Structures are given as C-alpha cells and as structure tokens.
Structure 1
Amino acid sequence: MKSYIDEELEETKKNSRRKVVFALLAIILAVGIPISYVVYTHFYSMNHLPEGKWIQSSSSPNQQYKLNIYRVKKGRATGSYSVRGELTNVSTGKQRNIYWGYKEYDAQVKWKDNHHVSINNKVLDVRTDTYDWRRE
C-alpha cells in the first residue's frame, strides 16, 4: 500500500514539474518572439528605414530601374547624416531599399551597366544585392 502511495506522489510531482516547465517555456516564447520581431525590424531590417529628404534620382541605362537617394538626419545636434538608396523597378512599380550608408552626407551614383550601380564606391547588383552599414 505504501509503495502505491509513493508512486502516486512521485507521479504527481512529475506532472507538476512538467506543468511548471511548460508554463515557463510558454511565457518565454510569448515574450521572446515579439521582442525579437521588434528588435529585428527596428535595428536590422531595411524595410523600416526613415524616409529622409530626397536629394537625387538616377535611372539605369535601359530605364528599367530608377534609384532615388535620400538624406536622413538622425538625432539632433549630435546625430550624423545617413544616405538611403531606394530602388524602383519601373515596369512593376515595386520599391525596395538597397543602400543604407551611415555618416554620409551625399551619394555618388554611377551605373556600371543595366544591373550594376555604384553608390559611394560600393557596387551593387540591383537584382539581388543590398548594402547596410550595420552589417559590416
């Protein structure tokens, strides 16, 4: 009889431990996933960059792409300027950021060919490449 009670007590302890572990895991996931998403979108994603002030545009030699360059001022007196390059596919109208340079005031843009552009001496294939100073 005593052995049965001991086994039942051990099983109850195991079940309560499992419940505590699963509850802690659920809390960690419920808090960790949203925090990870916010950190990624605000500090690593190029989809949420500040807009800035337009400074120039440049089209690819075949007119398939248009690159708009924006100057972004972050902070007040002590903040530095940044340059953002937004590429538009003229045929589809789809836009995406391909360039994010920190401590830059202007951009020197030169198209190498129909698919390669140099922005401040960084050559990008506009079909696939991006430049983000935060990832250097």
Structure 2
Amino acid sequence: MTAKLSGNRKRLLKIVLIVGFFILSAIGYGLYWAFYDMNRLPTGVYLTESTSPDGKYTVKAYVSSPSLSADAVRGELMFNESKRKPKNIYWNYRESTAEIVWQDERTVVINGLSLQVPNEKFDWRHD
C-alpha cells in the first residue's frame, strides 16, 4: 500500500512541477512582451535615414512623443538586399533628433552610440 502512495505522490509532484513551469513561463513571456519587446515600440514620426556604404542596410530614425513622457528616438534597420522585415536596433529616451553616420559597411553610429549591424541593438530600458 505504501508503494502505491509513493507512486501517486510522484505523479502528483510531476503534475505540479509541469503546471508550475508553464505558469512561470507564461508570466515570464508576459513581462518580456510588456516591458522589453522592441517590436512593440511606437512607430513615431519620420526624422531621417542613412544607407550603409555598400547599400545593404538603411537605418531610418523616428521620434515618438508620448503624451505623458519625454520624446524618444527609434532606429529601424532596413535590409535592402533581402526580404527580411525591418528590425528595431535603437531606442533612446529624452531625444528628439537623430544623427546617423556609417563608419563602415557594418558599423553605424546613431547619436554617438556605435552599433554593429545586423546583430547589435540599444534599448535605454536595459542599460
């Protein structure tokens, strides 16, 4: 009889752990989606753009003016030679202008911050 109870306890423990894992995963994803996902940034008003020396990339800058906080600049990387969708690579708070300068084919400087495209990104909420 005790062996059967032990088996039931193990089964119950497995179920509790699995359900707990899914609940924590859902909460974690919800927090990421709500506070960190750069794809949810507001579109903003177009400021300027600059194309890389080899023509593979274009960075477009937009300013967002939320009603209750300061302006923010969003930089969007466009892939000129492929059908990839644009990627947000820059989001900085308390800015309303954008200066975009390419140092080489893969290094772009946005308002003094250097990024290696297409993999690096800057989000003021994380730094």
TM range (shorter): 0.7 to 0.9
Structure 2: runs of 5+ lacking an equivalent: none
CA distance in 2, matches of 1:12, 1:80: 63
Amino acid at match of 1:88: M
Is 2:35 the partner of 1:43?
yes
Structure number with higher relative contact order (C-alpha < 8 Å, ≥ 6 residues apart)? 2
Matched, 1:88 2:78: yes
Alignment of 1:10-25 (within 5 A): 10-25=2-17
- Cα RMSD of the aligned pairs, angstroms, is 1.9
Q: What is the number of residues matched between the two proteins?
A: 126
Of the candidates 25, 44, 59, which is equivalent to residue 52 of structure 1?
A: 44
Question: For residue 127 of structure 1, what is the aligned residue in structure 2?
Answer: 118
TM-score w.r.t. length of structure 1:
0.79
Quote the offset at 1:57 in angstroms. 1.4
Q: Does 1:63 align with 2:55?
A: yes
In the alignment, the residues of structure 1 paired with residue 36 and residue 48 of structure 2 have an alpha-carbon distance, to the nearest angstrom, of: 25
SS of the residue 1:110 aligns to = strand
Separation of aligned partners in 1, 2:18 and 2:104: 52
Aligned to 1:108: 99
Shift of residue 19 of structure 1?
Answer: 3.0
Measure how far apart 1:127 and its partner are.
3.1
Computing the radius of gyration over CA atoms, which structure comes out larger, 1 or 2?
1
- Scaled by the length of structure 2, the TM-score of the pair is 0.84
